[in-house]
Amino acid sequence: MKRVSILGSTGSIGVQTLKVIDVHQDRFTVAALSAGTNIELLKAQIDRYHPRMAAVSDEHHAAELRTLLGGGDTEIIWGVDGYRAIAGMADADVVMSAIVGAAGLIPTLAAIEAGKRVALANKETMVMAGAFITESAKKSGASIMPVDSEHSAIFQCLCGHRKDDVKRLILTASGGPFHTMTREEIGRVTVEDALAHPNWEMGKKVTIDSATLMNKGLEVIEARWFFDIDVERIDVLIHPRSIVHSMVEYIDGSIIAQLGIPDMRIPILYALAYPERLPSHMPSLDLAGTGALEFYLPDVNRFPALALAYRAAKEGGAAPALLNAANETAVEAFLTGGIPFTRIAGIVGEVLNQENDTTADTIDDILRADRRARERARTLIENEEHHK
């Protein structure tokens, strides 16, 4: 029996992780849960799974949750220290890292330092601090399993092959809801349009990132660290059906791909069960009924966020953390009506241009860069709102 702690159990990945556990109750049990502020859902999860600990964002939400629960055996903790406690809890074997955004970094690092099996959905952790995370995992003996469907696919395509034989990684991208639109049409899209992803049901932030292609850019950086490969050898192909989840090309010209229906419960199950494979009870992929599978190159003129992510990856140091923080701030502003869709990449590019000092020798340097980029982005957004 594997005991699983979930950071971000009230989110899209967190809820799907619990569904996977429901299907395999003989193999997995819930050790701890965490939410940000969705106390009602967390209460329902505690009632059902009886975790030993549960963490929320702050003291106020912790008090509210205790009142809602009216007792029980679950210890309620809060704040970054609460998330860290859950991540490092002695009686958990696997930590699902599914908090969204930079807030996931410190709790995930705690799980890695504690030597856990970490199922990593929070790509921002690798983007911001890939060098520290991989180094820290080497020291502690933690194993990091990808949850992103693309990285799960690449992980599987690499199994049984020599790293020296890899020519390049090919990440596929659905292209989001705007991949066939002109620049002018993209300039007019609304929040509602951007949240309507064609293939995947995800949290709001990652859905917007999918629409700008920043999500793919973050995944390129994530892949660079996960698979220890130069970013020049990571390519992106738009594949609107999201059936081929990613591929690896070898030096002899062979390309190995992983295919499946687009359902996150499959890579979640793989990350939790590895090295075993357990039945997912999902419908088989009906290739004959699927029709043509199309692939084409991404257009960085219409989707400049992807080019910005490659640029940050090549600059290295704190540049990916700056990119990530500016993007989170700009996405938030777009979601609340502060800036138009196309300004998300615009703001990120301007923050990268303004911040030349990209030293990142410590995690504190990275957190400082994150704060600086958020301030810069907020100033740019406020100026725009002022001139509306």
- Site residues, ligand NAP (CB under 6 A): 8, 10-14, 35-38, 57, 98-100, 103, 121-124, 148, 200, 202-203, 205-206, 264
Q: Which of 307, 320, 333, 263 is nearest to 130 (CA)?
A: 320
Contact call for residues 208 and 334 (beta carbons, < 8 A): yes
Distance of closest approach, residue 98 Cβ to ligand NAP, in angstroms: 5
Distance of closest approach, residue 176 Cβ to ligand NAP, in angstroms: 13
Nearer to ligand NAP among residue 248 and residue 264 (C-beta)? 264
Contacts 24+ apart (CB under 8 A), 327-334: 327/209, 327/214, 327/218, 328/101, 328/102, 328/124, 328/205, 328/374, 329/373, 329/374, 329/377, 329/378, 329/381, 330/377, 330/381, 331/205, 331/208, 331/209, 333/377, 333/381, 334/191, 334/194, 334/208
CA distance 216 to 242: 13
**Burial annotation 155-186 (CB, 10 A radius, 16+ → b, else e):** bbbbeeeeeeebebbbbbbbbbbbbeeeeeeb
Distance of closest approach, residue 221 Cβ to ligand NAP, in angstroms: 12
Distance of closest approach, residue 35 Cβ to ligand NAP, in angstroms: 3
Distance of closest approach, residue 242 Cβ to ligand NAP, in angstroms: 11
Distance of closest approach, residue 121 Cβ to ligand NAP, in angstroms: 3
Nearer to ligand NAP among residue 121 and residue 318 (C-beta)? 121
Contact call for residues 373 and 355 (beta carbons, < 8 A): yes
Distance of closest approach, residue 185 Cβ to ligand NAP, in angstroms: 26
Nearer to ligand NAP among residue 15 and residue 167 (C-beta)? 15
Nearer to ligand NAP among residue 121 and residue 322 (C-beta)? 121
Distance of closest approach, residue 224 Cβ to ligand NAP, in angstroms: 16
Nearer to ligand NAP among residue 12 and residue 342 (C-beta)? 12
Distance of closest approach, residue 380 Cβ to ligand NAP, in angstroms: 22
Nearer to ligand NAP among residue 35 and residue 173 (C-beta)? 35
Nearer to ligand NAP among residue 11 and residue 320 (C-beta)? 11
Q: Where are the beta strands (DSSP E) in the chain?
A: 2-7, 28-34, 53-56, 75-78, 94-97, 117-120, 143-146, 166-173, 234-238, 244-250, 255-259
Q: Is 110 helix (H, G, I), strand (E, B) or coil?
A: helix
Chain position whose Cβ is nearest to ligand NAP: 11
CA distance 174 to 169: 16
Is residue 69 classed exposed, middle or buried when 0-12, 13-18 and 19+ CB atoms within 10 A define those classes?
middle
Number of H helices, E strands in the chain: 17, 11
